[in-house]
Amino acid sequence: MTFNGQGILPAIKTMKDFENILKSDIEYIVMLEVHIAQLESIMKYAKSYHKKVILHADLIQGLKNDEYSTEFLCQKIRPAGLISTRGIVVKTAKKNSILAIQRLFLLDTLALETSYKLAEKVQPDYIEVLPGCVPHLIKKVHSETKIPVIAGGLITNKDEVNEVFAAGAKAVTTSRKELWTLSHKMKKH
């Protein structure tokens, strides 16, 4: 499963950025920090502009990130994908044939080992590694899990984007608007 060759996944924080990205040729977008009351209209507009929305389930205001809310998102909202640190959210997304992305924070060795166990248990489609600016850990996470890695967080320029792709990242999530139009194409597997 790929993002139609799109290597940079814009992480949208504001409705103004969402409105601007609708006019672009970017297909996949990540929505951060949305309010539950905005979900239906966001999806309606995104679909009318042929955009595929990946929702960060943990950051939806007014919605608990548990199995029931994930079922609601999968069945009623129907995003292209869901991102979460919670195994039940990732597992429920997979069960509903929604792209399932496990978010992994590189805090320390214990957090990394716990994330490996969770990944083994739920088998997400991708693991989003934060911060993504540590190329050798992108290689390590992929080597340990055999799951494709998305790099996100603290990637600030084109050189860092190139480094994480060279380390094996399949995509980069970023809220830095100046990186959104970089044309990194992924190899289709």
Average pLDDT over residues 61-87: 96
Q: What is the pLDDT of residues 81-106, one digit of tens each?
A: 999 999 999 999 999 999 999 999 99
- 11 by DSSP, 3-state: which? strand
pLDDT for residue 189? 34
- Is it the case that residue 187 has pLDDT exceeding 60? no
Q: Are 96 and 71 in contact (CB under 8 A)?
A: yes
Determine the pLDDT at residue 60: 97
Q: Give dist(CA 182, CA 128) in Å, integer.
A: 19
Q: In whole angstroms, give the CA distance from residue 90 to residue 67.
A: 9
Q: What is the pLDDT of residue 179?
A: 96
Spatial contact of 81 and 59, defined as CB atoms under 8 Å apart = no
The neighbouring-strand residues paired with 31 are 12, 55
At residue 23, the pLDDT reads 94
Residues 86 and 47: their CA atoms lie apart, in Å, by 27
Q: What is the C-alpha R_g of the chain?
A: 15
Asked if the model's pLDDT at residue 115 lies above 90, the reply is yes
* DSSP conformational letter for 176: -
The predicted pLDDT at position 188 comes to 37
- Reply yes or no on whether the pLDDT at 123 is more than 60: yes
- What was the pLDDT predicted at 182? 87
Q: What is the DSSP letter of 49?
A: T
Please determine, for residue 132, whether its predicted confidence score (pLDDT) is greater than 80.
Answer: yes
Sign of CA dihedral 16, 5, 179, 183: negative
The domains of the chain, with CATH numbers, are 8-179 (3.20.20.70)
pTM: 0.95
Q: What is the pLDDT of residue 146?
A: 97
Mind giving me the DSSP string for 90-111?
HHHHHHTT-EEEEEEE-S-HHH
The lowest-confidence range among 3-7, 42-46, 47-51, 52-56 is 3-7
Q: Considering only the C-alpha atoms of the chain, give the largest distance between any 2 of them, rounded to a whole number of Å.
A: 44
The DSSP symbol for 84 reads: E
Q: Is the pLDDT of residue 36 over 70?
A: yes
Mean pLDDT across 23-38: 96
